[in-house]
Amino acid sequence: MINEIALNDWYPVAMASELKPGCRLNRVLMEREIQISNDGDKTHAFEGSRVLPLQIRYDHVWTSLGAPARPLFEIPEGEQDGRRLVACGRVHVRCSPLRAVENFLDIAHFPYVHTGILGAEDHPEVERYDVEIDDEKDEVWARQVKFFQPQAAKSAEGGIMADYMYRVPAPTTSILYKTCPARVGEWDIITLFVQPVSETTCDVWPWMALYDDETPFNDLVQFQQTIFMQDRSILENQIPALLPLDPKMETPTRADLTSIAYRRWLKRRRMFYGAQTIAA
């Protein structure tokens, strides 16, 4: 069910670089067909003849089917000088858009799904970390996350204890702040922007803002594609396809702290598109 909450949010629908003058892209957003076009001067979004709101931020085109209740979230660090901005294209996944975000927040799968890169089977422990729902910003935050990683980034040489912060500024966006191997004291930014196609399918647009002047651009993209395609094979097999928001359906063994906060926050915001709210 598309409720007002889902309808009134901003969603990514294209990379800004795709919109060459004269081009027209067909997209599906929450089961509705929309068009994005560029008349040589400006980019526009339509549903039929209806003009949709549009903005270009973080190398992507954002639109909404409703009247956006709040502005698009800010990623101030992402717009700092000197960062490489890396849009990785879109990957289609047969899973709930909310599951794509939740999986991104869960570190426990690293050793098994991203073996030898983001985790090692010999170091599966997740130490305690802080999770909060920031009421003022209306966002989910996880801080002080520490995890052993054999190859934390394309530029990493050897294993490190990586520091992480997770931020969920909108139900279908997840931002990761991560130890930057190339510049001590700064955070690399890795995001998943998720376009809900239906309640059980989504298009995922990974985007990164990194301090890394060495690694060729193609290698950065392919490092991220590697990670996300490892996730995709897991995401497509999750049961049930919808994200369960009923506490009775929660599986306690997989009670990742950030996942729990994320689900609680979705419920509080009444964001139910892609969620299962009654026990089947």
Partner 1 sequence: MKLYDYVLSGNCYKIRLFAALLGIPYETVAVDLYPGKEQTRPAFLRLNPAGTLPVLQDGDLTLTDSSAILTYLARRHDPTGQWCPQDPELLAQLVGWLSFADDLTRTSGAARLHAIFKKPIDSVAAQKGAHALLRRLELHLCDQEFDDSSFLLGKAPTIADIACFPYVALAPDGGVELDGYAAVQRWIYAIRKLDGFLPMPGIHPLHEHPDKPLPEGLNARLEA
Q: Which of 6, 9, 12, 15 binds partner 1 (CB under 8 A)?
A: 15
Binding status of residue 231 toward Fe ion by CB under 5 A: yes
Structure tokens at 200: 């059980």
The residue type at 226: T
182, with CB counted inside 10 A (0-12, 13-18, 19+), is middle
Stretch that binds Fe ion, among 58-66, 87-95, 152-160, 227-235 (CB under 5 A): 227-235
Q: Does 81 bind partner 1 (CB under 8 A)?
A: no
The sign of the CA dihedral 43, 48, 52, 58 is negative
The interface partner of residue 229, options being partner 1, Fe ion, none and the CB cut-off 5 to 8 Å by kind, is: partner 1
**What residues from 87 to 116 belong to the interface with partner 1 (CB under 8 A)?**
87-92, 94, 108-109, 112-113, 115-116
Cα–Cα distance measured from residue 125 to residue 212, given in angstroms and rounded to the nearest whole number: 29
Overall residue count recorded for the chain in this entry: 280
Nearer to partner 1 by Cβ, of 29 and 170: the residue is 29
- Bridge-partner residues for 209, per DSSP? 85, 189
> How far apart are alpha carbons 187 and 139 in whole angstroms?
19
Per-residue tokens: 3: 């409720």
Letter for the amino acid at 1? M
Looking at the Cβ atoms of 9 and 231, the one nearer to Fe ion is: 231
Of 94 and 269, the one with the shorter C-beta distance to partner 1 is 94
Is residue 238 within the footprint of partner 1 (CB under 8 A)?
yes
Calculate the alpha carbon distances from 204 to 58, 176, 251, 265 in Å. Answer: 14, 15, 26, 21
**Partner whose footprint covers residue 187, from Fe ion, partner 1, none (CB < 5 to 8 Å by kind):** none
Q: Which stretch binds partner 1 (CB under 8 A): 52-60, 73-81, 160-168, 225-233?
A: 225-233
How far apart CA 254 and CA 261 sit, in angstroms, is 13
CB 155 within 8 A of CB 181: yes
In the complex with partner 1, the residue whose CB is nearer, 70 or 254, is 254
Within residues 190-219, the interface with partner 1 by CB under 8 A covers: 216-219
Quick one: what does residue 3 bind among partner 1, Fe ion, none, with the CB cut-off 5 to 8 Å set by partner type?
none
Question: Which residues sit at the interface with Fe ion, rule CB under 5 A?
Answer: 231
Q: Where does this chain bind partner 1 (CB under 8 A)?
A: 15, 18, 87-92, 94, 108-109, 112-113, 115-116, 121-122, 216-219, 221-223, 225-230, 232-234, 236-238, 251, 253-254
